[in-house]
Amino acid sequence: MLIDQLGEEGAKAGLDRSFHSAKELRSTAVELKATIPPKAMRKDIVASIIAKVNQRIEKTQEELLAMSVNDLLEYFEYVRPSKAELLSVLGELDFHPGSEAQKSLYKYAARQIAETGMFKRVASNT
């Protein structure tokens, strides 16, 4: 509920500044089966809890591997996973997006930003 109301960063900040001790937060993380290193700092424990709670991909790795490209695209569009969650899934499969994948993301972002700027410039000249 915190994530829905405050967003991921707001929920992290709220939980980090909460009255819960680091020990209590660690216990919560363990109950959620969140991955945390043994000597994790409070903010890292909070980040792990929020990432686990905000996890949107509910299918197992085997279920994902059984899906076609189109089915995966539809599923991703439906659940709207974060970039970090997608990168985590790829990492579990030992895929590490290289520079070409980053270039595609950069090209998309550059195109969208440039087009938005162009529309703003045209609108301001009218």
Give tens-digit pLDDT for 79-105: 988 877 887 888 888 887 777 776 676
What is the predicted pLDDT for the residue at 102?
Answer: 67
pTM of structure: 0.63
**What would the two tokens of residue 116 be?**
């938005």
Question: For residues 61 and 111, what is the distance between their CA atoms, to the nearest angstrom?
Answer: 33
pLDDT in tens, 10-59: 999 999 999 999 999 999 999 999 989 889 999 999 999 998 998 999 99
Under the banding of pLDDT at 50, 70 and 90, the label for residue 106 is low
Strands (E), the chain: none
Under the banding of pLDDT at 50, 70 and 90, the label for residue 8 is confident
Q: Rounded to a whole number, what is the distance in angstroms from the first to the last CA of the chain?
A: 44
What is the predicted pLDDT for the residue at 32?
Answer: 94
Token match 């709220």: residue? 14
Question: For residues 92 and 94, what is the distance between their CA atoms, to the nearest angstrom?
Answer: 5
Question: For residues 13 and 104, what is the distance between their CA atoms, to the nearest angstrom?
Answer: 32
What is the predicted pLDDT for the residue at 110?
Answer: 62
Average pLDDT, the chain: 86
pLDDT in tens, 50-74: 989 989 999 998 899 999 888 998 8
**What would the two tokens of residue 78 be?**
């439906």
Token match 């089915």: residue? 71
**What would the two tokens of residue 41 be?**
């700092």
Q: Which helix (H) or strand (E) holds 42?
A: helix 42-53
What is the predicted pLDDT for the residue at 118?
Answer: 85
What is the predicted pLDDT for the residue at 109?
Answer: 58
